[in-house]
Every structure is written in C-alpha cells, then in structure tokens.
Amino acid sequence: MNSKLSNSMIVVLLLCPLVPGTGRFAYGLYLAIALFFILFFAVTSRFLVLKSGFKETEHYVTLLFVISGAVIFNKVMSFFLPVLAYTLEFYVYLSAFSGLVLFFLFSKETETAFAGDFKGILGNVFFVSIKFFILFLFFGALREIAGYGSLSVPVFSGIRVISLFHVADYPLFKFAASTEGGLVVSAIMICIFRYSYVRYESEKRKVN
C-alpha cells in the first residue's frame, strides 16, 4: 500500500470512531465544528513553537493546545448549546485525538511558519481535511433522513427537528441512525473508500 493511500486510510479510520455520534445531522455539524476548532488550536501551537525555535517541545505543546482547545470548546458551547455540549462531550474529546493525528499527518509544510505564513499553514491543514469533514456531514444527514425521515439543527434547548417524511412503518431504516448502524456505516465507509482508491490507481496505471 503506497503512502498516499496509507495516509488516506488513516484519516478515514480516525474519523470513523466519530460516526456513531452522528445519528442526527445536528450532531455531525456540531462535531465537525469542534474538529475545525481543535485543528485551529493545533496549527496555532505549531506556529508558535516553530517561531520560538523550541522544536524539541513541539509535540508536548501541540498536545497541550489540542486538549485545551477541546476543553475550551466544550466550555464555550455549554453556554450556547448546553444540551449538545453535555451529550457530545465524549465525542469532542475523541475529535481532539483525531484532530491531533490528522494535524501531524498532513502538516509537513508547516516549516514555512519560519517565514510567518500562518494563513498558509492553516489553509494547508484545512484543505487536506475538508473532504473528510464533508463526508462526515453527509453521513450525518443520510443517517438521520434514513432513520427518522428528518433533518435537525442545533439550538439552545437541544436540536430542532425538521420532519421530511414518516418512517414509523419502516423500523429497518431506523437502524441507520442507531449506534450499531453507525458502526456498520463506518465499516462501509472504509470498504468503499479503499475499493474506490484501488480502482482509481489501477485505471491510472492502465492509462500510463
């Protein structure tokens, strides 16, 4: 398996543990925002470390910033979205772990921080990761539509559900929104991603 495929598979595997927490689109949106917030803290820490010249402390400082980012996010959200902050607190810390590994996996270009290109560093990390965030939100929406026939958005009191159609007569669909269904979705994500990538590489070799 080449390094590009290996890195991509690592990303998918890192995000898959968060899938069970996205039984509602509102949950997926909340966790995607948390991951962006945590990555911002990781980029900031890398920038400060490289600018200061203390590279030997890089991993410790980044770990401290990422954990702090998760804690701050939970505290801030407890004022604006208290119900979701309490419900998804565990998944936010899980996002911190995923975000930390994502950052170290795709941040080789952050050496440009010595030139002060903070926006470039931030853009690089987010650009590489955005496709997986979109996939994350897509599965959140898909699971809620299939399981509940609705879409939801975060509000102060929890979530606001927008009903699309009735699914009470189709209990099998509700499996998609359950934790077990989330794990199945995770497995399907990995299989589809790997199969698609292998097919793509195979076709590219035939053309060349």
Q: Could you tell me the two tokens for 43?
A: 């980029």
Q: How many residues does the chain have?
A: 208
User: Residue 73: what pLDDT?
Assistant: 92
pLDDT at residue 105, as a whole number = 62
The tens digit of pLDDT for each residue in 129-163 reads: 676 677 778 877 888 887 788 889 899 988 999 88
Mean pLDDT computed over 8-13: 55
Would you state the structure tokens that stand for residue 38, as one six-digit string? 């945590």
Judge contact between 137 and 15, C-beta under 8 A. no
The stretch 174-186 carries a mean pLDDT of 73
The mean per-residue pLDDT over the stretch 182-195 comes to 71
Q: In 3-state terms, what secondary structure has residue 139?
A: helix
Domain range spanning residue 180? 3-207
Other C-beta atoms within 10 Å of 31: how many?
A: 26
Q: Are 153 and 83 in contact (CB under 8 A)?
A: no
Q: What is the largest CA-CA distance in the chain?
A: 63
pLDDT at residue 208 greater than cutoff 70: no
Asked whether 78 and 85 are in contact (CB, 8 A), the reply is yes
3-state class (DSSP) for residue 49: helix
Q: pLDDT, tens digit, for every residue of 22-66?
A: 678 888 888 888 878 887 777 777 777 777 766 677 777 778 888
- The residue ranking higher by pLDDT, 71 or 58, is 71
Specify the number of domains making up the chain. 1
- For 73-103, write each residue's pLDDT tens digit: 999 999 999 999 998 888 888 877 776 766 6
* pTM > 0.85: yes or no: no
pLDDT of residue 5: 46
Do 120 and 112 touch, CB atoms closer than 8 A? yes
Q: What DSSP state is assigned to residue 104?
A: H
Helix (H) / strand (E) containing 154: strand 150-155
